[in-house]
Amino acid sequence: MKGVILLPTVYKGFAQRAEAMYTKFCKKYKFSLVYSDAPNLDEYDVAIVMCVPYHNRPGLPPGLLDAKCKLIDHFGDLQCWGNVECAKNKKILFDRCDLLMGTYYEKFREWYPQYVHKYVHWPQYFGPYERYANLTMNPNPRMRCLMIGSYGYPAYPRRQDVVQAARSLPDNGKLDIVGNVIPFPKYPAYLNTYFCSLVLSGLYNFPEAKHFEVPAAGALMLATELQELTMCGLEPYTHYVPVTKENVFKQVKEVLDHPKDYIEIRDKGTKFVRENHSDINKVDSFKEILDRLLGPGGHKALLR
């Protein structure tokens, strides 16, 4: 048996975290990583299809629905932002696929209850593992709180609220707000330069990659409490400092004014995430996924 991971060509050079994880996966299992918008799946027994359809790419790759192999949809974004064709094609693809893997634990059940029997809860992760695990705790970090990444509407209203509120506060509320400008290879080391980082989920309240990247890099995470984050084993006041819309700036000030009181939380968060939520852990999780797809012990037929 052999398999393939399919990524749309638009991601070539721009999906470095997923590529690093799936490259590790391909070293363990007899899979190939292919960028294609019109794949030929005749020679494969299993295909993992990533990130189709999307609101800005609502079509389905030609021939995908007619493939004879087992299909797993690693769906990425679950929402279609009002794109009717995207929503229609998601249901068509979900009907065809054998398994559907991704995050959005709560929203998947709300939006697609008819497919729960196919759903594999597969949270986000940090990676490559080596780039984070080689970082030590910074003995002289910037005593500021970083908020990094996109913060526009409609996807990130909570971040946008914080951005606007910070502008009216002295010293920007002790926040350094940085967009998606840090090159991927330098990103872990950049996170490591800060004592803490504020991580707010998007509109649909699921843990994003930053929820794992920040602690993995050795920074203290401040984050809103999420059901799915708890499912991943991260506990408030044990692995991160919880915040609300009402107290976010108060918590940032508290942490930065009394950093020694939060060292233990930071260290526990880093240790837990590095041990449980790396790209290596995600590769290991495929044993259970492939056995579910192919039957007990089915993953063995795909091992190298």
Higher pLDDT, 179 or 186: 186
Query: Does the pLDDT at position 301 exceed 90?
Result: yes
Query: 172-182 pLDDT, tens per residue?
Result: 999 999 988 99
Q: At which residue do the structure tokens 């249901």 appear? A: 91
> What is the residue-wise DSSP string for 64-131?
STT--SEEEEE------TT-HHHHHHHHHHHHH-SEEEES-HHHHHHH-GGGGGGEEE----B--HHH
Interatomic CA distance for residues 204 and 211, integer angstroms: 14
Interatomic CA distance for residues 184 and 187, integer angstroms: 5
Residue from 22, 43, 31 nearest 303 by CA: 31
Q: Please name the amino acid found at residue 191.
A: L
CB 93 within 8 A of CB 61: no
Q: Please name the amino acid found at residue 8.
A: P
Query: 203-251 pLDDT, tens per residue?
Result: 999 999 999 999 999 999 999 999 999 999 999 999 999 999 999 999 9
Interatomic CA distance for residues 111 and 228, integer angstroms: 16
Cβ-based neighbours of 40, under 8 Å, separated by 6 or more: 63
Which pLDDT does position 299 carry in this prediction?
98
The CB density around residue 183, as the number of other CB atoms within 10 Å, is: 8
| pLDDT grade for 62, boundaries at 50, 70 and 90 | very high
Interatomic CA distance for residues 137 and 140, integer angstroms: 9
According to DSSP H, which parts of the chain are helical? 16-28, 84-96, 105-111, 129-133, 157-167, 187-192, 210-216, 227-231, 248-257, 263-276, 279-294
Query: Does the pLDDT at position 152 exceed 90?
Result: no
Task: Supply the pTM of this predicted model.
Answer: 0.96
| pLDDT grade for 153, boundaries at 50, 70 and 90 | confident
CA 211 from centre of chain: 8
Which pLDDT does position 206 carry in this prediction?
95
Query: 12-38 pLDDT, tens per residue?
Result: 999 999 999 999 999 999 999 999 999
Q: What percent of the chain has pLDDT over 90?
A: 98
Which pLDDT does position 202 carry in this prediction?
94
| pLDDT grade for 39, boundaries at 50, 70 and 90 | very high
Query: 158-169 pLDDT, tens per residue?
Result: 999 999 999 999
Residue 72 pairs in a beta bridge with 48, 99
Interatomic CA distance for residues 176 and 187, integer angstroms: 15
Which pLDDT does position 3 carry in this prediction?
98
CB 178 within 8 A of CB 148: yes
Query: Is the omega angle on the peptide bond into residue 236 within 30 degrees of 0, that is, cis?
Result: no
What residue ranges define each of the domains in the chain, with the CATH number in brackets? 3-125+279-297 (3.40.50), 129-276 (3.40.50.2000)
Mean pLDDT throughout 102-121?
97
Mean pLDDT (the chain) is 97
